[in-house]
Structure 1
């Protein structure tokens, strides 16, 4: 039997058709006992998946991240964040727009949930550095998490670093007057964006005007904050497994 992957979950909290909130709970941990073991860790990396991932998909993405980071010499715990991204009809072109908008709505709402976990965990384990990896729609979860964390002055530098792969948030975020200062405040060391001009999913989303100017397609525009770095990569396709393959160092 394979080892259970620890994950923070909000599965079943949001409606998969329209993104409405079904439960106002914060989050649940699975398995809970594994999280108790993480207290006191020097570091912790949380993997946040993209659209069209059920619970099994979320677990698979953590395994991909964990295995790749291990190959790159990263020895600290890698856990998952599992949320309702398997929105209804996301695999069908005629429902793609509706499914994406529901997914974006859910991803934005999950910023509250993930920010609560980070604050709760840091209270128990203040010296643990927390790194966030986001693929595709996972970038929206991270951005919303930063937004929520920025509301409290004590959260300055609470997140060590952020790594984005095939990000679906817009290209003006790292230079925007709204989000630039928030990222600067909450993220201690760096925000690294791995973008790909050949990413077929982001290219299509941009052409269809579902996401206008995705950050993961051509990188950032404007004058970005100093903590922001970006790297053009050539993954085989939009899948996280392909982006993980082109990652050459971490952290």
Structure 2
């Protein structure tokens, strides 16, 4: 698929800029891990700013265990999707945290924000940036568990944020981290449907370092069906479920009741009640 064709087909569509309920927490108080500005796209290639190492990350000064010294016993890291701007990440995280709390989750939710707000013609490069963020999220996880060894860590990856959390699992596996992440949840995952299988990019790692993997998919997700049909010539994990044999700890959940790609973590119309119930 040529870039010009992809852009023409895209029109006003976006992947991962969610329409969510009103924020429940002031944006300036939302704990964030950030890698904003770590990657750029130059002439069709992803370039990492040499001021930052491949595992390096920053925070906004409010992350428990890392910044505040107070550990959260149950920590969920929410990773936003494509097209989310830096200034939108706190509100997006707050929306997700509010939906989780409303559904009965009693732990702490923080955000992970990355260089996602690139033009549509840079979709493939943005996907590469998401994958390169895996090592950074993995390093944060290792650091957090070093500071808070009794804590539980969960990942929630929305849309293209799925590639960040899946890549983090792959990095943790490569480092021999063992069972590190209690739960890895995918919402409308913008990843190839075979990538979570035991013969795929991420499947073996998921079986090694994650307690449970839950993929919430919707065959009527028009955004993923368009994006993967037009740009990837493949099926999406978030609209097909897994293709092939998944690891034993993996479960697909058909959430055809979610009305569109932008509502997975909406408190009223999304599937967060089911997510929390399965945790």
Is structure 2 residue 64 aligned with structure 1 residue 21?
A: no
Any conservation in 2 of the 1:13–1:84 contact (CA below 8 Å)? yes
Gapped regions of structure 1 (runs ≥ 5):
none
SS of residue in 2 equivalent to 1:11: coil
Gapped regions of structure 2 (runs ≥ 5):
1-24
Relative to structure 1, is the Cα distance of residues 33 and 169 closer, same or farther in structure 2, using a 3 angstrom cutoff?
Answer: closer
Relative to structure 1, is the Cα distance of residues 58 and 240 closer, same or farther in structure 2, using a 3 angstrom cutoff?
Answer: farther
Equivalent residue runs for 1:96-135 within 5 Å: 99-135=122-158
Cα deviation code 1:71-104 (max 9, x no counterpart):
11111110000000001x22xxxx3xxx211211
Any conservation in 2 of the 1:8–1:29 contact (CA below 8 Å)? yes
Distance 1:33 1:62 in 2: 13
Is structure 2 residue 150 aligned with structure 1 residue 150?
A: no
2:272 alignment counterpart? 247
1:9 is matched with which residue: 30, 34, 43?
A: 34
2:191 alignment counterpart? 169
Cα RMSD over matched residues? Answer: 2.0
2:234 is matched with which residue: 212, 228, 246?
A: 212
SS of residue in 2 equivalent to 1:73: coil
SS of residue in 2 equivalent to 1:107: helix
Cα deviation code 1:159-204 (max 9, x no counterpart):
11100011011111232325322111110x2100000111111010
Equivalent residue runs for 1:60-75 within 5 Å: 60-75=91-106
Is structure 2 residue 115 aligned with structure 1 residue 84?
A: yes
Q: Return 220-229 or 34-43, whichever deviates more.
A: 34-43
Note the C-alpha offset of 1:33.
6.6
Any conservation in 1 of the 2:99–2:266 contact (CA below 8 Å)? no
Note the C-alpha offset of 1:246.
2.6
- The number of residues matched between the two structures is 241
Any conservation in 1 of the 2:264–2:272 contact (CA below 8 Å)? no
Distance 2:63 2:245 in 1: 44
Higher RCO, Cα 8 Å, sep 6+: 2
Whichever structure has more helix as a proportion of its residues is 1
Equivalent residue runs for 1:40-51 within 5 Å: 40-51=71-82
